[in-house]
Amino acid sequence: MTSYTTASARAEMSELRRLKTLLPPELQSWVTVEGTTEVNPPLLRSEEIGRDEIEIQVDLARWENLAIDQRNLLFWHEVARIQNDTIPREGWEMAALAIGLGGAVGELWVQDGLLLLLAMGLCGISGYRLWQKNNGDRTLKESLEADEKAIALATRFGYTLPNAYKSLGSAFKTLIDQTPNRRQKKRYEARLQALRKSASKAKAQMQSTERPISL
């Protein structure tokens, strides 16, 4: 049992080191890759952990069920999100919303109309910013842009364009099959559909002598 645990830990460390080598050189000094210890975490997540420092967290238990090429393209998607500056950051919105709600309740008690309006205004602004951050259409658009950039990163690391598309498409198909959450599954399906359209456009632009792209 001990030897199995040790071997598993070594395999996980080896995979984290391998993923680190997939970071573009310009990101290697300020982006780290670690296994997550959360319960039911997302497969991949990027988090700001300090000033000019980002950590990519990997659910290694689910990660090992994917093929190497699938892992690579999904990892480059996360790298692309960092490059596009679309990872969620701890903002002031939640704190402002709490302050605004607390202030509104307090001003109702003391019946100060001006301060009540200010508190409600703070609630409105912070609530709108939180809605913007979690807007489904916006997050999907950001994911599609990161998928396109992941394909470009793959070619930068030696993949042919057809193989890059196939690997990411295969990863989506696997995640669709393995994801019980219906909402998350629909997001993967939407990304797969967009990827197919992108592959068709790329195929049309390729020379007839090159291998066609099919997902």
**pLDDT tens, 25-43?**
999 999 999 999 888 899 9
**pLDDT tens, 135-175?**
467 889 999 999 999 999 999 999 999 999 999 999 999 99
- Give Cα separations from 2 to 8, 9, 62, 151, 209 (angstroms): 10, 11, 22, 40, 54
The closest alpha carbon to 24, from 152, 162, 164, belongs to 152
- End-to-end Cα separation, the chain, in angstroms: 41
What is the rounded average pLDDT of the residues 191-206? 93
pLDDT at 131: 44
- What is the enclosing helix (H) or strand (E) of 152? helix 136-156
One-letter amino acid of 133: K
C-alpha–C-alpha distance, residues 26 and 58, integer Å: 21
Cα dihedral 189, 193, 194, 199 sign: positive
pLDDT at 100: 43
pLDDT at 109: 46
Domain extents in the chain: 2-89+135-205, 93-131
Residue 7, token pair as written in the block: 């071997």
Question: Quick check: 74 and 44 in contact, CB under 8 A?
Answer: yes
Task: Say if residue 211's pLDDT is above 90.
Answer: no
C-alpha–C-alpha distance, residues 181 and 194, integer Å: 20
More confident residue, 11 or 212: 11
Residue 168, token pair as written in the block: 């990411």
Q: How many helices and strands, by DSSP H and E, does the chain display?
A: 8, 3
The rounded radius of gyration (Å) of the Cα atoms in the chain is 22
C-alpha–C-alpha distance, residues 86 and 24, integer Å: 17
**pLDDT tens, 81-131?**
999 998 765 544 444 444 544 544 444 444 555 555 665 555 555 444 544
What is the rounded average pLDDT of the residues 7-18? 91
